[in-house]
Amino acid sequence: MVLALKPFGCMPSAQSDGVQSAVINRFRDMIFLPIETSGEGEVNAHSRVQMALGEAKAKARAEFENVLKSTGKRLDDIRDYVAGHPELRRPFYHVPHRPGIAGTAAQFVAHVSDLMESKHRFWHRSRSAPFVQSGATA
């Protein structure tokens, strides 16, 4: 979603109209919301932003559901796998970007699904026994 704040009736406003047209023609699913600063009342501008956010939320939810469906897994399966692999819950864990998927949650579900199907699954750490080097003497 792109929110373009532009002054009413000045040259940069006319230029941003051309940019808006080019961007929307290239990215058909993008939400582009131009708000002119003095041409609309504050309540009207706020209402337009709220409507655009609602539309963005609906698109993100639909994308998430489509990605989850394409994996063939249930949401509970994804959650169970993540619960067993705490490194996936770290705030700075890097989720690889996939072309064609915009939402963070949808990206994460696709990534976890791949990990679940991968031959090289995350190593599940045992918390019961400490690490012991071979050949070490006490």
- pLDDT tens by residue, 46-105: 888 898 899 999 999 999 999 999 999 999 999 999 999 999 999 999 999 999 899 999
Domain with 118 in it: 60-124
**Within a domain: 24:** no
Residue 102 within any structural domain of the chain: yes
Question: Is 87 within a domain?
Answer: yes
Query: Per the domain annotation, does 108 fall within a domain?
Result: yes
SS3 34: strand
- H or E element at residue 64: helix 42-71
Residue 28 within any structural domain of the chain: no
Considering the domain boundaries, does residue 16 fall inside one?
no
More confident residue, 13 or 67: 67
Number of domains into which the chain is organized: 1
- For 43-67, b/e burial (b = at least 16 CB within 10 A) is eebeeeeeebeeebeebbeebbeeb
- Sort residue 135 into left (φ over 0), alpha (ψ -120 to 50) or beta: left
Residue 135 lies inside a defined structural domain of this protein: no
